[in-house]
């Protein structure tokens, strides 16, 4: 297993002040692609959650300037164990309190509830959701035997989670707070906000284009990888096909 991200050279120097030497580093234009490889002999739910907290720690060290990648790069450096890396270097050590579904029907609903708690704790990563599902599954009466099924459920939950975030469902203000926020949003920074959304949309669509070129065609998988809602990805794919 590995985690790979893109960052600027000056951020890489900051990374090395806190984290161990990467397993691999590759230059891409003016940026660097950095990878940490982990031994994969035995990875359970706890290890998957620890990977999520390692990613959160890296994001924090780099002040958010880490763009996660899905493709591996050549690595000739140290291969780490997840548990040792987590104990020695992770800045975050805890995750939300567990919930325990009784059966398969409850697993997706409980998983969605847990993803919301992860989001409010600012720990929402695919690996955290997958690790939670893996752990919950072990306590159910009739377990899901195939890991691929849990992966599919985790992708679905991530896609729905980003839809909830984009729609404001998980952050919705009420009453006077909502009216005040709307007035402030309309009176300050409206043009800048529009330009920022356009810029973010263009960057997201380029990531979608690259994933499609790499053979990734499942909208749920793409949504989970780029951090967007399923409907947004459908629109992106439609626009990309129309332009090609």
- What is the reported pTM? 0.70
Q: Which of 231, 54, 189, 188 is nearest to 127 (CA)?
A: 54
Q: Do 68 and 29 contact (CB within 8 A), yes or no?
A: no
Query: How confident is residue 227, by pLDDT bands cut at 50, 70 and 90?
Result: low
Q: Do 156 and 108 contact (CB within 8 A), yes or no?
A: yes
Read off the pLDDT of residues 160-207 as tens digits, 9 standing for 90 and up. Answer: 999 988 888 887 545 555 455 444 434 333 444 455 567 667 888 888
Token code pair at residue 229: 């809602």
Mean pLDDT of 12-21: 87
Contacts of 219 (CB under 8 A, 6+ apart): 159, 230, 233, 234, 237
Q: Do 158 and 128 contact (CB within 8 A), yes or no?
A: no
Q: In the chain, which ranges are continuous DSSP H helix?
A: 9-18, 45-61, 82-89, 104-120, 126-138, 147-167, 175-187, 190-213, 219-226, 230-243
What is the pLDDT at residue 197?
61
What is the pLDDT at residue 224?
63
Q: How far apart are CA 134 and CA 153, in angstroms?
A: 10
Read off the pLDDT of residues 87-105 as tens digits, 9 standing for 90 and up. Answer: 999 988 889 988 899 888 8
Please give the backbone phi and psi of residue 143, each rounded to the nearest 5 degrees, phi first.
Answer: -70, 155
Q: Do 103 and 145 contact (CB within 8 A), yes or no?
A: no
Contacts of 93 (CB under 8 A, 6+ apart): 53
3-state secondary structure of 156: helix
Query: How confident is residue 216, by pLDDT bands cut at 50, 70 and 90?
Result: confident
């Amino acid at each position: 297993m590995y985690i790979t991200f893109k960052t600027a050279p000056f951020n890489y120097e900051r990374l090395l002040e806190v984290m161990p030497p990467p397993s691999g580093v590759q230059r891409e234009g003016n940026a660097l692609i950095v990878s940490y490889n982990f031994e994969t002999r035995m990875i359970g739910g706890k290890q998957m959650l620890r990977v999520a907290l390692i990613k959160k720690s890296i994001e924090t060290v780099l002040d958010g300037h880490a763009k996660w990648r899905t493709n591996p790069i050549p690595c000739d450096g140290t291969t780490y164990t997840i548990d040792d890396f987590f104990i020695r270097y992770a800045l975050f050590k805890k995750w939300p309190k567990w919930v325990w579904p009784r059966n398969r029907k409850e697993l997706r609903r409980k998983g969605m509830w847990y993803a919301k708690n992860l989001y409010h704790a600012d720990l929402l990563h695919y690996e955290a959701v997958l690790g939670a599902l893996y752990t919950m599954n072990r306590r159910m009466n009739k377990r899901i035997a195939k890991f691929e099924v849990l992966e599919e459920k985790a992708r679905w939950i991530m896609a729905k989670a980003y839809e909830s975030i984009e729609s404001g469902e998980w952050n919705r203000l009420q009453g006077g707070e909502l009216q005040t926020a709307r007035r402030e949003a309309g009176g300050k920074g409206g043009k800048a906000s529009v330009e920022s959304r356009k810029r973010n949309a263009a960057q997201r669509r380029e990531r979608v284009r690259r994933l499609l070129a790499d053979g990734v065609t499942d909208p749920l998988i793409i949504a989970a990888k780029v951090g967007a809602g399923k409907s947004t990805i459908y629109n992106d794919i439609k626009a990309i096909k129309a332009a090609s």
